[in-house]
Structure 1
Amino acid sequence: MTDLTDPAVRVAGARELAPDLLVIPNARVDLVPNIGIVGGTEAVLVVDTGLGTANAAEVLAFAVEVAKGRRLYLTTTHFHPEHAYGAQVFAGEATYLVNRAQADDLATKGAGYLEMFRGLGEVVARRLEGVRVPVPDVVHDGVHELDLGGRTVLLRPTGRGHTAGDQVVEVPDAGVLFTGDLAETGQFAILPWFPPHDTDVTGIGWLAVLDRLALGAPRVVVPGHGEVGGVSVLTDVRDYLRELRDETWRRRDSGLGVAEIAAEVRDLLVGRHPEWAGREWIEPGVGCLCAEHDA
């Protein structure tokens, strides 16, 4: 049985979504992302690393096995530790590419998030022993077209949403989209609203990003955490964020304070989605949307 307290990546669970395109699923383990392996005739791209060097070493070994001598690239969907803080393991083995805003997030917030995550408990702290804040090899502006040989992958910055530096990874020939934490299934959306330290998350911007991504009608959507699915993975998160916005703003318009709104909205949304995990993220979402309402 998987130890749900240990954020361990299990490469043995990898499954194929399309020819030469695999996902290592997170299997509903906290702080384990869905990880992508995307191949072309000349190179293989890894999408996200898992938390810490031991997880990243497992992912790298698996990618090397899949690549069979092809060149390796690494990208990360955003700067949060379970997605990016194993990148140092890939040094000398893969070229690490990120968008400009994500590189800025790593440089300005990376150390703070590393310390915050080390405070989440002993097992997480052990996973982060010896971890350094990632430093990319290549920083790109705008959409980056990565030619893997017979397959072009698009590394597409989305603008502010879950973070300032969110990036989706599109595989057009397969109709596959890796979203990072812009989409998650089976849980309340994570709005990392931590004033005054980090207030880059934007519920309004996130909604606009999801509207644009849904218009692309991807065949397969790989969320940051949770089950792989179709375009409904995007629209379900979008619909929840609309709920959160509308219920928050309706109460803010009536003059209620943030704490009172948070309590009412939490009770309402838990009642509507009793099976979802991550209830603790409703209150930060209310705080974020109250700030956006008042701006």
Structure 2
Amino acid sequence: MTEDPIVQITGVQELARDLVVIPDRRVPLVPNIGLVGGTHSVLVVETGLGPANAETVLEFTAAYAKGRRLYLTSTHFHPEHAFGAQTFAGEATYLLNRAQATDLAMKGPGYLEMFKTLGEPIARRLEGVELATPDLVYDDAHDLDLGGRVVRLRPTGRAHSKGDQVITVPDAGVMFTGDLVEAGQFSIFPWFPPYDTDVSGTRWIAVMERLAAESPRVVVPGHGDVGGPRLLEDVRDYLELLRDETWARRDSAMSEETMVEEITALMIERHPEWTGRDWIEKGVGCLCAEH
């Protein structure tokens, strides 16, 4: 049976003054959820999968905020990150980059139906989902003043999705990456031709190079343990190796099936402790198309 992707308020990590993460506890389809506070406002990063999980997050947030104004954002439109936003309606200002807002409107309904097929616990979590419309949409950059603390929201351009957004807290050196970075897991390539081919391995590498150059003190991945800047370098190095090994075999006219077998074996040898091995094949397929 598929594990219930339930958000639990346990093991909350304080990363800096007035900045905490509700950890995913290594449960599939539970994201790391952030709360960033200033003197007059609190920003919530990610909602959890569906309204009930979002209610848990909102209840914790309300107690944490102690009357401060609430904002909500998500790193990208995928269901466990954004499909609880309706719960915050009337309680928080929902803020997104334009590409993500477009993803949510155009692709959200299809992803909702697809995720409902992934198991009974997931379908149950998605009952009653209504895709929310953001209150504020920005294009190139948004600096959110929480009172004595400014949070930077920046779209990265197409990588894991078209609408990826990174949230950084400069005074604390903290970066929320969403699924651009996973800790202890192979990169998730949502490569499902012909239905979804928005992920780009080559653009993802370029994004990781830019993020690594920022050298944050703390990196909060979409899934997995919070870490340091090494997480950014690990993902960049993995994606570069995946590209190089795929393209070298593509040039030799090897069958894709043999390519997948060889590259999967190589990657598991390099990272035997990482989970999500099925995503290697999706990454090879994506990079073959980008060759």
TM range (shorter): over 0.9
- Matching residue of 2:88: 90
- Matching residue of 2:45: 47
1:63-118 CA-partner distances (Å, limit 9, x unpaired): 11111000000000000000000000000000000000001101110000001100
For residues 16 and 275 of structure 1, what CA distance do their matches in structure 2 show?
27
- Matching residue of 1:59: 57
Task: Say whether the 8 Å CA contact 1:4–1:30 is kept in structure 2.
Answer: no
1:183-228 CA-partner distances (Å, limit 9, x unpaired): 0011110011111111110011000001000111000000000010
Per the TM alignment, residue 252 of structure 1 is displaced from its structure 2 partner at its CA by 0.3
- Matching residue of 1:169: 167
Amino acid at match of 1:195: P
1:149-194 CA-partner distances (Å, limit 9, x unpaired): 0000011100011000000000000000000000001111001111
- Matching residue of 1:25: 23
Alignment of structure 1 residues 183-222 onto 2, 5 Å: 183-222=181-220
Alignment of structure 1 residues 65-84 onto 2, 5 Å: 65-84=63-82
User: Any runs of at least 4 consecutive aligned residues in structure 1 with deviations exceeding 6 A, and if so which?
Assistant: none
Per the TM alignment, residue 138 of structure 1 is displaced from its structure 2 partner at its CA by 1.0
For residues 131 and 60 of structure 1, what CA distance do their matches in structure 2 show?
16
* Aligned counterpart in structure 2 of residue 258 of structure 1, from 256, 259, 267: 256
- Matching residue of 2:286: 288
* Aligned counterpart in structure 2 of residue 157 of structure 1, from 155, 158, 163: 155
For residues 286 and 125 of structure 1, what CA distance do their matches in structure 2 show?
29
Secondary structure in 1 matching 2:290: helix
Amino acid at match of 1:174: A
Worse-matched range after superposition: 74-83 or 258-267: 258-267
- Matching residue of 1:38: 36
TM-score, L = length of structure 2 = 0.98
Per the TM alignment, residue 134 of structure 1 is displaced from its structure 2 partner at its CA by 2.7
Task: Say whether the 8 Å CA contact 1:114–1:133 is kept in structure 2.
Answer: no
Alignment of structure 1 residues 125-136 onto 2, 5 Å: 125-136=123-134
Distance 1:227 1:102, change over 3 A: same
For residues 2 and 43 of structure 2, what CA distance do their matches in structure 1 show?
28
* Aligned counterpart in structure 2 of residue 116 of structure 1, from 114, 117, 132: 114
For residues 94 and 14 of structure 2, what CA distance do their matches in structure 1 show?
23
Per the TM alignment, residue 259 of structure 1 is displaced from its structure 2 partner at its CA by 2.2
Per the TM alignment, residue 137 of structure 1 is displaced from its structure 2 partner at its CA by 1.2
Amino acid at match of 1:256: M
CA RMSD of aligned residues (A): 1.0
- Matching residue of 1:240: 238
Point out where structure 2 has 5 or more consecutive residues left out of the alignment: none
For residues 227 and 5 of structure 1, what CA distance do their matches in structure 2 show?
19
Secondary structure in 2 matching 1:116: helix
